[in-house]
Chains A and B, each alone.
Chain A
Amino acid sequence: MTASLLQAPRLHRTVLANGLTVLVLENPVADIVSARLFIRAGSTLEVAHQAGLVSFLMGLLTKGTERLSSMAIAETVESVGASLGTDAAADYSVISLKTVSADFAEIFALAATLLRQPSFPLDEIELERKLTLQQIRSMQEQPFTLAFNQLRQAMYGEHPYALPGIGTEATVSAIVQSDLIDFHHQHMRPDNVVVTIVGRITPEAALAQVEQALGDWPVLPQPAPVLALPAVTTAPTCSAIAQETNQAIVMVGYPAASVTHPAYAALKLINTYLGNGLSSRLFVELREKRGLAYDVSAFYPTRLGPSQFVAYIGTAPENAATALEGLRFEVERLQTTVLSDEELQSAKNKLLGQYALGKQTNAQIAQLLGWYEILGLGVEYDQQFQDMVAAVTVLDAEAVAQEFFHSPYISLLGPEDFVAPVAAAQD
């Protein structure tokens, strides 16, 4: 499988005079070009009373520029059957587009304009607010989301990672146009932007289009402001939401390492061992052998700041206590049980194999390369990550488990008669 994207001689990296980084990978196989415009500004840059601002701002980028109305933007994109969307994450935000190659220049130029010259029309702000507030309320319908929001809040306290990127009813209600203009002015600037273009396009043509659309974007003299983030203190809790659901959700969360921490690769490997696929430890022990769940897994998000290692299960309410015990047992046993060489090698094969399978489409490649660049890891990280995973030993895995898998934060959701006793037993 593709070992490294870097080994592909077709990858071109250029930094424009204004500091904007461009990555181009020519892939002529399909008549498709995918691009990403990454901005080094995610929800961690929001002050507490403006939670949700970046997500709100990104949604509004496609709703009006100095010259184009929201509908004119939609018509331009849809009339050529392209796709264009925006997203806001904790550590970055992004505009994504995909076109057949003949339409790329036009839609890329549009995306560049959206990034540089949004006008944040007042009527569009109000519509977006209405839709966003409803979306926040709709999260209440999803047991998994509710349980995870509860876990995140408990683990992160005042840190911005505590909140879903969409914000809260109170903060979204308070956003005004000048907040958007100010944030855009401070953070959407060429030295904060990485553009990746992958597909049927020559590097020369791609670079010329980026130069034309973004090359004259002026540099700002002052650096982008940074926020002093509150420290995350660890004091594990158990919280429960009572809801008359058919299934209980049980989640455990352990404070975990950032992407730049030496334990990162080992934790990714442990995450694969425990939670990835039909042969993973949690799946085999709790689903296949004990029939406790349909959905049981683990995840460990890649974060610039302090991350979290989460294991979860959806189970019949009467099994909530058993399931919690099972989850904790499987995670925490790694403190004292050293993986066999075969288990470790299997986890490596699985992680690296699936990593390679995640680079099949132009969009996947554009996302991965730009993501590494915007996080400050550089495109070299594509290879470095694989080398780090390959180098993890069974003793590394044990040491990492001992460092991180102490008492977890616990989040429960389900019928009160079942989850309340489980929560009470944790005190």
Chain B
Amino acid sequence: MPLNSVDFPASVIRLENGLTLIHQEIAATPVVVADVWVRAGAIAEPAEWAGMAHFLEHMIFKGTDQLPPGVFDYAIETQGGMTNAATSHDYAHFYITIAADMLAQTLPYLADLLLHAAIPADEFSRERQVVLEEIRQAQDDPDWLGYQAMSELVYQDHPYGRPVLGTAEILQQRSPEEMRCFHQAHYQPDQMTVVITGGIALEPTVAMVKHAFRGFAAPSACPPAAIAPVPELPGVRREILHLPRLEQSRLTMAWVGPGIDQLETAYGLDLLAAILAEGRSSRLVRELREDRQLVQDIGAGFSLQRECSLFTIQAWLEGDDVDRVEAIVCDRIDELAAKPISDAELARAKRLLCNDYAFSTEAPGQLAGLYGYYGTIANVDRCLAYVPTLQGYTSDHLQPLADRYLTPLRYVSTILHPA
């Protein structure tokens, strides 16, 4: 099935230095969002540097030779703006939301931080304490622990299996020199996408971005990431964890799907997730929560990543019901491939996802996030294929897809029980 595309409303410009700029003016909006995406997530780390990409995201805010720590945050926030950042396996991104007329003054600061992060040694040691606190906080969250356990089982030695936060042990051994090396190797124009959306026209945006994002340091050599292939699941891998302070068991079942090189297939799995467990009238929620009352809640997740996608079913339930619910979910997964999906069910899932897409592009920040994400893991105009591709799906297309990717013979199951 070909990917259908409609006219892309944003401008995509490749600057001379290799930097990609994506811009979309939104009329009648007094706000502008600048969201800079860098292909320097956890996947770019050598295994012994795990956590470096995320730690660097913190250190970016610690200033440059021109800009002492805290000056950037203060400048943005005292102009009524907001700034923050996030790191995942495929990317790190940094964004500001600010009144449109303040962008010209503040964008050069953001660019300076990203291009010329100084990573001072004393700030490095202090900020490491902050990241260690972040890790401690995560370790008190049973759902984070469960997610990490599931990821390790699914991805084995592939970097997607490592926590983005890294570990305290590894972080203690890292140095500012190593971080500067990682920064200089990856924060390069060909790895970077600047997205600007909101109340600003194209022409001043291009001039502003060209001016701010220049003078990149020459790329440095840095230990390469050794990326193992995403492993095929050999069968059913099951792990049971007993956690203190848990009040309720969890069951997470996971299947691996294709990455961005098979986007239309990935979107089909998104539809199957909605048919199974999005909303009260979906199959699993209706049967297991409303009718049989075997679960407190159940949901399906589909996340698209560069190298593979992940399809999950997660249930919150009593420990005694875990085996039974897992068996029922396997049955229902099997049925997806075996029986045609009714037109009404398919139409419902399509409308849910298409409307979610519309609802999630209402504000400039949401739009910038979408463009930046696609621009970083695929091509930005691919997000426009989402709605037409979903609309084109029929039961005949989906059944083989379920058969190929969602089988009760090969999946990962992570179970959390109260200790």
Q: Which residues from chain A sit less than 8 Å from chain B, CB to CB? A: 1-2, 29-32, 70-71, 74-75, 77-83, 98-100, 127, 130-131, 134-135, 137-138, 140-141, 143, 243-247, 276-279, 284, 287-295, 314-316, 345-346, 349-350, 352-354, 356-357, 360-362
- Select which of A30, A79, A278, A292 is within 8 A of B348 by beta carbon: A79
Complex Cα spacing A290 to B74, Å: 18
The answer to whether B281 and A1 touch across the interface, beta carbons within 8 angstroms, is no
Chain A residue nearest to B243 in the complex (CB): A141
Question: Does B131 belong to the interface (CB within 8 Å)?
Answer: yes
**Shortest CB–CB separation between residue A36 and chain B, in angstroms?**
16
- Select which of B28, B80, B245, B316 is within 8 A of A356 by beta carbon: B80
The answer to whether A79 and B351 touch across the interface, beta carbons within 8 angstroms, is yes
- Select which of B77, B99, B129, B245 is within 8 A of A243 by beta carbon: B245
**Shortest CB–CB separation between residue A139 and chain B, in angstroms?**
8
12 A–B pairs (Cβ distance < 8 Å), ordered by A: A78-B279, A81-B352, A138-B248, A245-B140, A277-B77, A279-B70, A288-B126, A294-B134, A346-B78, A356-B80, A356-B99, A360-B29
Known contacts A30-B358, A82-B355, A141-B247; is-contact A74 B281 (Cβ 8 Å): yes
Complex Cα spacing A107 to B26, Å: 28
Residue interface mask B150-181, A partner, CB < 8 A = 1: 00000000000000000000000000000000
The answer to whether A360 and B363 touch across the interface, beta carbons within 8 angstroms, is yes
Q: Which residues of chain A are near B361, meaning CB under 8 Å? A: 30
Q: Give the 9 A-B residue pairs with the shortest CB-CB distance, closest first.
A: A353-B80, A291-B129, A81-B351, A81-B355, A74-B280, A278-B73, A294-B134, A346-B78, A294-B133
Question: Does B290 belong to the interface (CB within 8 Å)?
Answer: yes
Complex Cα spacing A77 to B347, Å: 13
Q: Which residues of chain A are near B99, meaning CB under 8 Å? A: 1, 353, 356
**Shortest CB–CB separation between residue B119 and chain A, in angstroms?**
15
Which residues 25-68 of B sit at the A interface, judged by CB distance below 8 A?
Answer: 26-31, 61
Complex Cα spacing A183 to B142, Å: 37
Q: Which residues of chain A are near B351, meaning CB under 8 Å? A: 79-81
The answer to whether A294 and B131 touch across the interface, beta carbons within 8 angstroms, is yes
Chain B residue nearest to A75 in the complex (CB): B281
The answer to whether B293 and A32 touch across the interface, beta carbons within 8 angstroms, is no
**Shortest CB–CB separation between residue B28 and chain A, in angstroms?**
6
Question: Does B344 belong to the interface (CB within 8 Å)?
Answer: yes
Q: Which residues of chain A are near B353, meaning CB under 8 Å? A: 81
Question: Does B127 belong to the interface (CB within 8 Å)?
Answer: yes
Of the candidates A127, A246, A284, the one having the most CB atoms from chain B within 10 angstroms of its own CB is: A246
The answer to whether B247 and A354 touch across the interface, beta carbons within 8 angstroms, is no
Question: Does B308 belong to the interface (CB within 8 Å)?
Answer: no
Q: Which residues of chain B are near A78, meaning CB under 8 Å? A: 278-282, 348, 352
Which residues 340-379 of B sit at the A interface, judged by CB distance below 8 A?
Answer: 344, 347-348, 350-356, 358-359, 361-365
The answer to whether B73 and A294 touch across the interface, beta carbons within 8 angstroms, is no
Q: Which residues of chain B are near A143, meaning CB under 8 Å? A: 140
Complex Cα spacing A290 to B37, Å: 29
The answer to whether B28 and A352 touch across the interface, beta carbons within 8 angstroms, is no
- Select which of B29, B78, B278, B281 is within 8 A of A350 by beta carbon: B78
Complex Cα spacing A350 to B133, Å: 27
Q: Which residues of chain B are near A276, meaning CB under 8 Å? A: 77
The answer to whether A131 and B31 touch across the interface, beta carbons within 8 angstroms, is no
Residue interface mask B273-297, A partner, CB < 8 A = 1: 0000011111000100010010011
The answer to whether A247 and B344 touch across the interface, beta carbons within 8 angstroms, is no
**Shortest CB–CB separation between residue B406 and chain A, in angstroms?**
22
- Select which of A2, A79, A99, A127 is within 8 A of B293 by beta carbon: A127
Complex Cα spacing A141 to B140, Å: 9
Which residues 93-110 of B sit at the A interface, judged by CB distance below 8 A?
Answer: 97-99
The answer to whether A315 and B133 touch across the interface, beta carbons within 8 angstroms, is yes
Complex Cα spacing A134 to B321, Å: 15
**Shortest CB–CB separation between residue A265 and chain B, in angstroms?**
17
The answer to whether A287 and B362 touch across the interface, beta carbons within 8 angstroms, is no
**Shortest CB–CB separation between residue B60 and chain A, in angstroms?**
12
Question: Does B79 belong to the interface (CB within 8 Å)?
Answer: yes
The answer to whether A361 and B352 touch across the interface, beta carbons within 8 angstroms, is no
Q: Which residues of chain B are near A287, meaning CB under 8 Å? A: 130
The answer to whether A293 and B130 touch across the interface, beta carbons within 8 angstroms, is yes
Known contacts A2-B30, A247-B133, A353-B99; is-contact A288 B70 (Cβ 8 Å): yes
The answer to whether A360 and B136 touch across the interface, beta carbons within 8 angstroms, is no
Complex Cα spacing A20 to B403, Å: 54
Of the candidates B137, B139, B244, B290, the one having the most CB atoms from chain A within 10 angstroms of its own CB is: B137
Known contacts A100-B358, A293-B133; is-contact A247 B80 (Cβ 8 Å): no
The answer to whether A137 and B82 touch across the interface, beta carbons within 8 angstroms, is no
Q: Which residues of chain B are near A350, meaning CB under 8 Å? A: 77-78, 80
Question: Does B409 belong to the interface (CB within 8 Å)?
Answer: no
Question: Does B246 belong to the interface (CB within 8 Å)?
Answer: yes
Chain B residue nearest to A130 in the complex (CB): B293
Q: Which residues of chain A are near B347, meaning CB under 8 Å? A: 79
Q: Which residues of chain A are near B356, meaning CB under 8 Å? A: 81
The answer to whether B137 and A295 touch across the interface, beta carbons within 8 angstroms, is yes
The answer to whether A357 and B293 touch across the interface, beta carbons within 8 angstroms, is no
Complex Cα spacing A82 to B26, Å: 24
**Shortest CB–CB separation between residue B367 and chain A, in angstroms?**
11
Question: Does B189 belong to the interface (CB within 8 Å)?
Answer: no
Complex Cα spacing A321 to B259, Å: 48
Question: Does B83 belong to the interface (CB within 8 Å)?
Answer: yes
- Select which of B29, B70, B78, B139 is within 8 A of A246 by beta carbon: B139
The answer to whether A316 and B290 touch across the interface, beta carbons within 8 angstroms, is no
**Shortest CB–CB separation between residue A95 and chain B, in angstroms?**
16
Complex Cα spacing A71 to B99, Å: 45
The answer to whether B136 and A247 touch across the interface, beta carbons within 8 angstroms, is yes
Q: Which residues of chain A are near B257, meaning CB under 8 Å? A: none
**Shortest CB–CB separation between residue B11 and chain A, in angstroms?**
19
Complex Cα spacing A350 to B97, Å: 12
Chain B residue nearest to A355 in the complex (CB): B80
**Shortest CB–CB separation between residue B164 and chain A, in angstroms?**
14
Q: Which residues of chain B are near A81, meaning CB under 8 Å? A: 348, 350-356
Q: Which residues of chain B are near A361, meaning CB under 8 Å? A: 362-363
Q: Which residues of chain B are near A140, meaning CB under 8 Å? A: 245, 247
Of the candidates A70, A79, A287, A362, the one having the most CB atoms from chain B within 10 angstroms of its own CB is: A79
Complex Cα spacing A294 to B141, Å: 14
The answer to whether B131 and A83 touch across the interface, beta carbons within 8 angstroms, is no
The answer to whether A291 and B130 touch across the interface, beta carbons within 8 angstroms, is yes
Q: Which residues of chain A are near B246, meaning CB under 8 Å? A: 141
Complex Cα spacing A78 to B210, Å: 46
New A-B pairs, 13, CB < 8 Å, besides A78-B280, A79-B344, A316-B132:
A31-B358, A71-B280, A127-B290, A138-B247, A141-B245, A247-B133, A276-B77, A277-B73, A293-B130, A294-B130, A294-B133, A353-B79, A353-B99
